[in-house]
Amino acid sequence: MTELDIRAARPDQLVAGDKGQWEIIVGLEVHAQVTSKAKLFSGASAAYGGAPNSHVSLVDAAMPGMLPVINKFCVEQAIRTGLGLNAKINLKSRFDRKNYFYPDLPQGYQISQFQMPIVGEGAVEVEADGEEPITVRIERLHLEQDAGKSIHDLSPNETFVDLNRAGVALMEIVSRPDIRSATEAAAYFNKLRAILRALGTCDGNMEEGSMRADVNVSVRRAGTREWGTRCEIKNVNSTRFMQQAIEYEARRQVEILEAGGSIDQETRLFDPNNGETRTMRSKEDAHDYRYFPDPDLLPLVMEKKWIEEIRASLPELPDAKKKRFIGEYGLTPYDARVISGDSEVSAYFETVAKGRDPKLAANWVTQELAGALNKKGLGLSASPVKAEQLGALIDLIKGGAINGKIAKDVFAKMMETGEAPGVIVEREGLRQVTDTGAIEKAIDELMAANADKVADVRKNPKAFGWWVGQTMKVTGGKANPAVVNEILKRKLGV
C-alpha cells in the first residue's frame, strides 16, 4: 500500500463506538451529465424536460436494427474533464455492454466502459472549511449512456416509463477511497462540481439530476490498515443528504460490528425523510454484469495532437483562479476559495472589483449579496442586483456620498426593485451629510440638552459612543461618521 492508501483519519473524524474508535472510509462514484445538445449515441435532444418520451430516437428506444453512432463532442467533453482533473488521457479506449434488466433500460444492457476507460488516474486537491487540504485520487472517468426514468406515483397499479433521459451521455468519475469524513466528501463533490462547471462539461444542476453520486462507505478500527466491507448508497443528489447518509451509514455499521455481526456488501438507498439508509439489493460485482466489448462500436483511437488542442483551450480553473485572486486582489485564502469555486460568482466579483477596493467588493459579494440571495432562494443569475449596480453602490460608499449603514438600506431596496443605487439615493434623500456646519449645529443642540452628560464623557471616555449614536440619530443616520467623530472629539474635549 502507498501512504495515501492508508491515510489515517484525524482524531476529530473518528466515530466513537461503545468498544473503541472507528474510521470512516468513503469513495464516491459521481455521475455527471455531459453538457451536449445531443445524446451519446443518437441525435435526439439531451435537453432537460420536455413532454414524456418526446426526446427519443429509434436508437434510444432500442428498435430492431438500430445501431449507435458515437457523438464526437461528448468524447471531447470527457477528455476536457480528464485534463481538468490532472488525469491521464487514454489514447485508446473501448465501449462495453453492461448487462442488467430494468424496465427503463430498453436494450437490456447499458453501453459503458469497463476495462479500457477514456480517462485514467488523476487527482483533485480538496479543502474542507477549517481543515488542512487533502488529495483525493481519481481512479478513472468513463463515458456511458443514462437509463430512462420509471415513474411509480401516477397510478396505484402501473409503472410508467419516460425514455427522454435514455441515452444521455454521462461521465462517471470514480474516486479512490481517500475520503475520511462526511465533510470531506461534501467538499470533494463541491470541488468536482466547480471544476466541471468551469470547464463547461456539466452544468452541475443537482435539482435536475445533472450531478449525483453513489457513495461507498465502510468502517475500520482506528489504527488498522484493512478495508472493511463497503455498502453503496445510490443516487444521492445533494451534499446535505450525502453527509447525512455517510454519518448514518457509518454509525449503523459500527453498531453491527461491535455487536459481533458482519456487514453485508449491498446497495442501499438514503431516505431523506427519516435520515436513514435502507437495503435496496445485494451489491453486484463486475462479473454479475457480464461485461463484453460492444460489437456495434469500434474502439476509440485518438491522436495526441487533438488532446493537446483541447488542453490549450481549457479555461482558468478554480485552483489557478484562487491563487490569482490572492496575489492580484489581496483576498484572504478563504474568500478567494469561496469566490473562485463558482465561475459565475468569480465573473460577477471581477466585474464589481474592477477599479475598486477588491476586499470591499469581496465582502459585498460573499456576505451581503450571498445572504440576500439565499434568503430569497435565488441563484446569482436571477439576482435583481447586477454586478455593475453593486459596483456603483461601492463607488457611492468610497466617494463619501453614503455611509455603510445607508448602503445596506439602499442595497435592500435594490434587491426589491432592481433599481440603480444612485436613483434610490437621490429619490429618497439618502445622500450623506458632510456639511460640517449642519453637523455642528446638531451637536451643539445635543450638548445643550444634555449638559450633565458633557461632564460625564470627560470623566468616562467610554460614554463617547452614546454621543456618536445620538448624533447619527438626530441626523437621520446620514451624517458622515468620520466628520461626526472629529467634531465631537473637538467639542467634548476628549
Render pLDDT for 374-427 as a digit per residue (tens, 0 to 9).
999 999 999 999 999 999 999 999 888 888 888 999 999 999 999 999 999 888
166-202 pLDDT per residue, tens? 999 999 999 999 999 999 999 999 999 999 999 999 9
| Average pLDDT over every residue of 79-97 | 97
Mean of per-residue pLDDT scores for the chain = 91
Between CA 11 and CA 142 the distance in angstroms is 35
| Average pLDDT over every residue of 304-318 | 97
340-358 pLDDT per residue, tens? 999 999 999 999 999 999 9
pLDDT at 484: 73
Which domains does the chain show, CATH number per domain? Answer: 4-309 (no CATH), 316-427 (no CATH), 436-492 (1.10.10)
Compare 179 and 449 and report the one with higher pLDDT. Answer: 179
pLDDT at 454: 73
pLDDT at 216: 97
Between CA 378 and CA 192 the distance in angstroms is 22
Return the percentage of the chain with pLDDT > 70, whole number. Answer: 96
pLDDT at 453: 75
| Average pLDDT over every residue of 26-50 | 96
